[in-house]
Structure 1
């Protein structure tokens, strides 16, 4: 949040965090009401747990269990993460910025959905997307378009979806994807429409 505020300003940073929280709560509520518990992979519900009562676990027990879980997850998804990073790097390095800003210009109605579409195959965290968003805004891309791009990269990146697919079935993943895409697009349009309030 501090880095976001240093690149844009505090009102944008606070609004970005607030709309992200609202999207998460509303999206989670919608998914909860869809009653899709049976679309969670069986191993998640039947995953081994330590046999000791929680209050009897030592710090060493907890650290060993955490290490085992991390190793298991890394073993299952490392190749998919590597593929996603390679795709994101290829898009980042081979598509000229001038082309992106031409397609994502502030006055174009399709800029927000296109920014979300471009952001999905990329893999980065908020720190990796901030410099890109700053450059895009400086080149005339709308604030909402840049923020929608950042949200898509962090929430809908290909490696994130691949990892999520390991724990949820396609129907639940599709619902999650649809809700998040719709929310990000709406947020992007709202930020573009009311960008003057954040200057």
Structure 2
């Protein structure tokens, strides 16, 4: 049996150790903050404690996710030529790539903020912008967590409606953005590949060590660029967390409210959560009599169009493209909300 060289075994051991440390940090993140805030004598039921815990927990969680996702995607991207990647997800027929990307988003259940580095990697690897947008929308919006919880709480009819609408929004919005040809409004650094601080034209012929170095540099580069936006975004979510205005919902988005869906979307945008985090509130509001379409639109706005995600995306998208993204997705969500209020009444 042929043995691996010592250097290869050593690199493998180092990589396994790094993965183990990363996994352990991610696993104990919530537990650590629970214990520290408890040791500080803070009431776990107080709104201030909830907001502080949200900020600390999500800052570490998102930083770990960003680090891992950027690192892995950079290495994978180094093996994919622009032409090969474009052929894989671009599709020969317009719209095929959007469907494939939305499907990929379903099986990669990132929250909205952690989907951003995957978005960067896809665009940098030559995937058309509109196709990548379909992934960016579908990943937080439709995944097995959302499907499982919706099925348990509201049954198969509501679940199928939500999944179908989420995929339709992701595919249609990505197709529309692709047709507008807005690539010039993506920040230039997204398209650059660097090694040793220098922009390189091709990753062909790089050694594995060089690809690891490139991935580590990419992690540092992107985190340096986006960390202020990340902290501000999570901070916005933390301030609002635990202060969800249920009374405002019942007053302005209740049964018979003509602008209820629009109000629900406007309330949902500043919040930051994933499907698992927002569904208990959706269930509570449903018990108060709010229409299902209004609640599904609210949920979609929270998980796919939150202010923290927009703050993070602003670092990689220029204002015209960001405005188009918000407008197209918000229009789709509002339309779905009103449609479901008719169909699911």
What TM-score comes out, normalization by structure 1 length? 0.85
Shift of 1:165: 1.3
Is 1:23 aligned to residue 172 of structure 2?
A: no
Matches within 5 A, 1:80-119: 80-94=229-243, 96-119=245-268
Shift of 1:176: 0.7
Matches within 5 A, 1:70-81: 70-81=219-230
What TM-score comes out, normalization by structure 2 length? 0.51
In structure 1, what is the equivalent of residue 7 of structure 2?
none
Structure 1 counterpart SS, 2:289: coil
In the alignment, structure 1 segments of 5+ residues that lack a partner are none
* Separation in structure 2 between the aligned mates of residue 93 and residue 30 of structure 1, nearest angstrom: 36
- Report how many aligned residue pairs link the two structures: 194
Deviating 4+ runs (over 4 angstroms): 49-52, 60-68
Q: CA RMSD in A?
A: 2.3
C-alpha contact 1:121 1:153 (8 A) present in aligned 2: yes
Shift of 1:63: 6.1
Matches within 5 A, 1:1-199: 1-48=147-194, 52-53=203-204, 58=208, 65-94=214-243, 96-196=245-345
**Deviations along 1:23-69, whole A, 9 cap, x unmatched?**
11111111111111111111111233785438x765x7666655544
C-alpha contact 2:240 2:271 (8 A) present in aligned 1: yes
* Separation in structure 2 between the aligned mates of residue 168 and residue 86 of structure 1, nearest angstrom: 21
Distance 1:35 1:52, change over 3 A: closer
The structure number with the bigger radius of gyration is 2
Distance 1:61 1:18, change over 3 A: farther
* Separation in structure 2 between the aligned mates of residue 106 and residue 63 of structure 1, nearest angstrom: 55
Distance 1:3 1:29, change over 3 A: same
In the alignment, structure 2 segments of 5+ residues that lack a partner are 1-146
Distance 1:52 1:45, change over 3 A: closer
Distance 1:174 1:84, change over 3 A: same
Shift of 1:20: 0.9
Distance 1:134 1:61, change over 3 A: farther
C-alpha contact 1:7 1:134 (8 A) present in aligned 2: yes
| Structure having greater relative contact order (Cα 8 Å, sep ≥ 6) | 1
C-alpha contact 2:282 2:299 (8 A) present in aligned 1: yes
